[in-house]
Amino acid sequence: MAVTLLDRAIYSYADVDRLVNVHSGTARRWLEGYTRQGKFYEPVLREKRTGSDAVTWGEMVESRLLAEFRRRGATVQHMRPAIALLRKEFGRYPLAHARPFLDVDGRELVRQVQVQVGLERELQFVVIRSGQLILAAPTERFFSSVVYTDDVASSIRAHSEAPGVLMDPNHAFGQPAVRNVRTDSLAEEFRAGSSYEDLVDLYNLTPAQVQAAIRFEMIASHEIAA
């Protein structure tokens, strides 16, 4: 059976932690669940734990959205019932499709799910404002960074402060890159003494592309504030 784009397993848990900017170990807890004080908490982004050390593109995309809520202080375990119901309605990766966010009927279905599970307002994906059903702020921030192809997330802008840096499962093994040149490779050479001008000439990039790549890696490694 052909592997779909969303099913492509190309990341480690450490990759996801770094690329969505969450604490070490967070992605594994979201995808495999965890035990605390003798109680097991089910995964948030998988129907059940798999024991796999690989993370799919779809799971990476969903982790990116969940991280937006987590940064706003949301307790993501409280979102698990809503995500589980959305999975039944939209398939294995409900948060990696455009339809729940773009389509009017999709948004209404998301709203109904939120009501059904009693999701608190700060955890909701869509909200009602001035009589209209719109994306909540974390969802809007996520949605503005994603490129969709045929309803499926096909690439993600790595960070708003690093324009042009993309994560694309079809290129550079899904790692952040500028024009298919991995940002970590550029940053490694920069730290080893290569200048911006050297990297521009070596990889046939523009100065803006090299600057964005280095900036992203500095943000990802917490060398500068996001």
- Identity of the amino acid at 212: A
pLDDT tens-digit map of 200-211: 999 999 999 999
pLDDT of residue 3: 64
Beta bridge partners of 73: none
Nearest 5°: the CA angle 41, 28, 224 is: 125
Q: Is the pLDDT of residue 224 over 70?
A: no
CA atoms of 49 and 60, how far apart (whole Å) = 16
Closest C-alpha among 175, 176, 95, 166 to residue 136:
95
* Cα–Cα distance measured from residue 154 to residue 145, given in angstroms and rounded to the nearest whole number: 11
Q: How far apart (Å, rounded) are the C-alpha atoms in residues 208 and 163?
A: 9
Q: How confident is the model at residue 110 (pLDDT cuts 50, 70, 90)?
A: very high
Q: Domains for the chain: give ranges and CATH numbers.
A: 158-226 (1.10.10.10)
Q: 73-99 pLDDT, tens per residue? A: 888 888 999 999 999 999 999 999 999
CA distance 20 to 162: 14
Q: Would you say residue 191 has pLDDT above 50?
A: yes
Average confidence (pLDDT) over 138-154: 95
Q: Band the pLDDT of 22: cuts 50, 70, 90.
A: very high
Q: Rounded to two decimals, what is the model's pTM?
A: 0.92
Higher pLDDT, 63 or 76: 63
Is the alpha carbon torsion for 91, 96, 97, 103 positive or negative? positive
The CA radius of gyration of the chain, in Å to the nearest whole number, is 18
